[in-house]
A and B are shown apart, each in its own frame.
Chain A
Amino acid sequence: MKKQGSDSNPVPVLPVLPEPLKDLKIKYTKIFINNEWHNSVSGKKFEVFNPANEEKICEIEEGDKADVDKAVKAARRAFELGSPWRTMDASERGRLLNKLADLVERDRLILATMEAIDGGKLFSTAYLMDLGACIKTLRYCAGWADKIHGRTVPMDGNFFTFTRHEPIGVCGQIIPWNFPLVMFIWKIAPALCCGNTVVVKPAEQTPLTALYMGSLIKEAGFPPGVVNIVPGFGPTAGAAISHHMDIDKVAFTGSTEVGKLIKEAAGKSNLKRVTLELGGKSPNIIFADADLDTAVEFAHIGLFYHQGQCCIAGSRIFVEEPIYDEFVRRSIERAKKYTLGDPLLPGVQQGPQIDKEQFQKILELIESGKKDGAKLECGGGPWGDKGYFIQPTVFSNVTDDMRIAKEEIFGPVQQIMKFKTVDEVIKRANNTSYGLAAAVFTKDIDKALTFAAALQAGTVWVNCYSAMSAQCPFGGFKMSGNGREMGEYGLHEYTEVKTVTIKIPQKNS
């Protein structure tokens, strides 16, 4: 068995990183309905800022209820029986998704640059990770299009029974700002491969790449009305989607707070199907027998990746007593190594937080940590004189009752706690309203399997963190969400099962 990185087992080769585009033009700023670009019905626009320098990038048409209505009408028409989309071969839906992947690959540099400017995301990360994930997800779902099998059912009596997995219909999809493009693809790709039509609301902070995708969707050849993109705000456009009487399903990724509103709106309106992918406060458990270098690195990346703005962030690190001090020491050392700055520049490892609101919320939580008695080991304040930068921050001696150990911070703030026994840490890890992800680091196969079973979380990593791919289902236990995205499981959320039973003269096995 060769370790990864040795000559005979090389690490995967990433594509060569180009320079970000210098003269990025924002061509698409309008509402995308029926494969056409529309002004908002109200005539309103909103501004989009670069979080690295707080400068305005452009103005975007602001969608609201009237625009959502227009989009839903278009999506409904595209979903009518006999429409080009409904009569299309399933394999052709797959071909269109593959074509879309080709176009994303072609425009990878444009999209990555846009994502970096709009979302404060490191260009290198956007280009290699985000865009890589987008392309692979599209291709993965493309492959499923003609493999979503119904069943024939050996029903009692003289009947022939089969199931059809039919698309649900018009799907409202509300996506967050932390991975604007990846979340856009995670939503549309499974929906389209199952044959649905969609009305997508991208986050108001980061609408640019989603709108650019509108142009590629048209170019790929999706019929008009199949994908509609309405940029706007949650309380207006988002609420219009979740309350809409002619939307069959709503999928939301964002905070648990808003998740509750979405489900309530669905209940109050037409009982539309709801899937939610919400917040987390994911435990990361490090045993003394773990490979310490690996554990420190994964724990670090598991928290600080993308400025801590990940729903899966490993924001409660439980370290076994004998190695606690050493683990904290190394974690601080690792956090201090950071270079902050313009996410487009090479060598920069941390960009800004997404906006002023998040920036202030994170600083406030850091203050609460200090006040509650956690030990601030490094960082703890803003960085630079413009842009929403926060120093990489590490807290030790954190206890379970502190706010920073209970609330989702969504910033570069690491909490390290101490534990003694297996039973204790299982209890503490599960003692949260969240259940999105969890990890355990140990060389002991029994511990690994015990935790894999005991942790209440939709994803459990063993000796790794943040390992995600299109093949694996992802979603939350408890208040981290409802349903799963990606993998075969993710398709179930986008189909209705229809049972067809036909009377026959005589049954035979």
Chain B
Amino acid sequence: MAGWVSRHGWGLSRRRWVSRHGWAGVPTRVGGCVSRYGWVIRHGRLSRRGPGAPSPRPWPGARRERDPPRAGPAAPAPLRDTASLSSLQIFINNEWHDAVSKKTFPTINPATGEVICQVAEGDKADVDKAVKAARAAFQLGSPWRRMDASHRGKLLNRLADLIERDRAYLAALETLDNGKPYSVSYLVDLDMVVKCLRYFAGWADKFHGKTIPLDGDFFCYTRHEPVGVCGQIIPWNFPLLMQAWKLGPALATGNVVVMKVAEQTPLSALYIANLIKEAGFPPGVVNIIPGYGPTAGAAISSHMDVDKVAFTGSTEVGHLIQKAAAESNLKRVTLELGGKSPNIIMSDADMDWAVDQAHFALFFNQGQCCCAGSRTYVQEDIYHEFVERSVEKAKSRVVGNPFDSKTEQGPQVDEEQYKKILGYISAGKREGAKLLCGGSPAADRGYFIQPTVFGEVQDNMTIAREEIFGPVMQILKFKTIEEVIERANDSKYGLAAAVFTKDLDKANYVSQALRAGTVWVNCYDVFGAQAPFGGYKASGNGRELGEYGLEAYVEVKNVSIPLCEFSSNICCSSKLSLYLLVWA
């Protein structure tokens, strides 16, 4: 099982707090989140507030931040109310269930390494229950199947409203469980979640079939029908956002869902389950199972009654999913996997902006982005200046308690990732890359890593080929445009790419030449629900978001009806046989 690692949670089955010492570097300001914010473990289920706690305040001005990171309206201080985190359960049929095995697993605050609470551990038996519930909700004539498409849109909009209402709470939960800075959770993740759901709400009654001018006397049309029971396995790096990316298109098109959330970050997804029920989705339409990859995840991908599986995570596990689908019922598969995305800086680019964006492209979300710009190719004549400025920028990055408003970088999600990243840093040093800053843990507890920059990286080094998924930047040198295109494309991945240049011809040429599902020109990590996202090559199959994202969630049914002279059955059958003859 050594291969079942990483961010979607196919990882170690248990982890424990390991004390660390002797780390140099950034003094820690981490710790005390659990007690400070009063998260307590109680029996029952996840609820927004504990008894006697003040109501979460709606934050003035928090409703809509355009372009949040730059426009800069401050996120409200995290809620201080006594939120009650219960021993969390499995959500099936709009009800809460213990695991059939009665097992639980701990979810851990990566800023401290401490256990936040216990969560029911779903496995095959729970997946079976959830699939049964989903299948029942998908029966012909069920409330969900009979519902007007516009009403499905209304429910998704209502869910977005509820998330907006509970935005501060959800953002805090996300930060507690994942470690990302609270300001980012609140301003970026939650903003994108709400917009994504609203975007797909709008699609519900607009994904049109076609009428088709078929040869012969036929009336021919297509219906875009939901695929059915969709298994969705989501990662820990953007728990809420990945949930919205999965739920939005699936529900807009009328599917039912069995979702497995990452074992590192189950909390926010389970809270959303409450909101799904509150929004009025019928029972069984959305079922959410916290659990591990090799057990619950594998049960979904090899299930004989799941019609489609969508997975976001590592390429390694993507292979397993596709294989499981093939070996079971040939369920449809969409995959959004790893990347080693090239970011090409031409010498004519705006230097300030390029340095800024290249830094953001790599370090955003602690480097835990599948589309991280982890191969920064810089043209020879500006290489030294670019490296120098990038190091300066990395050194000034504030690492610390993710609930602190000044913090730009929190901890990595778990110990396994943390160790893996430190391993890559060692490999980089060993293979001869030049460590320019960072390179070590950044605190004496919690999974913090210093912002790290490597210069003089060569294409064949491990750190230039493998996905590190951490705050480790690789800067490479190139001379010509042809050379850099060839090197940029020389990767098994093809998720994203970027080019920085002021030259229109270069921009057009490079953006056509790069083998990647997303190309950014003079920008990075520009995401919106409207724009499709997905990978070439081993970075995935299919696209999420945009109109394209709906395609993975519908079956196209073609209906043909003979047009005959009025009700003459003889004519019908004779014509029909004529057409059959043509085919034979």
Contact = CB atoms under 8 A, between A and B. Distances in A.
B36 interface: no
Interface string B550-578: 00000000000101111110001000000
Given A91-B530, A449-B219, A505-B505, A444 B567 contact: yes
B150 A139 contact: yes
B460 interface: no
Nearest to B148: A12
A142 B509 contact: no
A143 interface: yes
Given A140-B205, A446-B566, A471-B205, A505 B509 contact: yes
Contacts of B402: none
Contact of B206 (A89, A147, A450, A506): A147
Contacts of A444: 566-567
B208 interface: yes
A447 B566 contact: yes
A2 B199 CA distance: 34
Nearest to B562: A446
Given A453-B563, A471-B205, A471-B206, A508 B512 contact: yes
Contact of B141 (A2, A92, A452): A2
B58 to A, nearest CB: 16
Interface in B532-553: 547
B119 interface: no
Contacts of A143: 153, 201-206
A158 B564 CA distance: 49
A470 B564 CA distance: 32
A447 B202 contact: no
B584 interface: no
Contacts of B199: 91, 146-147
A95 B198 contact: yes
A504 B508 contact: yes
B146 interface: yes
Nearest to B252: A143
B157 A147 contact: no
A422 B565 CA distance: 10
Interface in B500-537: 504-505, 508-509, 512-513, 528-530
Nearest to A90: B530
Given A91-B199, A95-B64, A139-B153, A144 B206 contact: yes
Interface in B128-154: 141, 146, 149-150, 153-154
Contact of A506 (B154, B204, B504, B509): B509
A89 B203 contact: no
Interface string A80-102: 00000000011110110010000
A84 B505 CA distance: 32
Contacts of A92: 64, 66
Interface in A409-435: 422
Nearest to A142: B202
A89 B205 contact: no
B162 to A, nearest CB: 14
Given A139-B153, A444-B567, A504-B509, A147 B198 contact: no
Interface string A475-509: 00000000000001000000000000010111110
Nearest to A94: B202
A160 B507 CA distance: 12
Contacts of B563: 446, 449-450, 453
Given A9-B146, A92-B66, A471-B205, A147 B547 contact: yes
A156 to B, nearest CB: 16
Contacts of B15: none
A445 interface: yes
B86 to A, nearest CB: 33
A142 to B, nearest CB: 7
Contacts of B195: 91
A144 B202 CA distance: 6
Interface string B192-232: 00010011011111101000000000010000000000000
B203 A147 contact: yes
A508 B203 contact: no
A445 B567 CA distance: 8
Most buried by B among A91, A143, A449, A507: A143
Interface of B: 64, 66, 141, 146, 149-150, 153-154, 157, 195, 198-199, 201-206, 208, 219, 504-505, 508-509, 512-513, 528-530, 547, 561, 563-568, 572
9 contacts: A9-B141, A91-B199, A143-B153, A147-B203, A446-B563, A446-B566, A449-B563, A471-B205, A488-B208
* 6 shortest interchain CB distances as A-B pairs: A143-B202, A504-B508, A444-B567, A446-B564, A505-B505, A146-B530
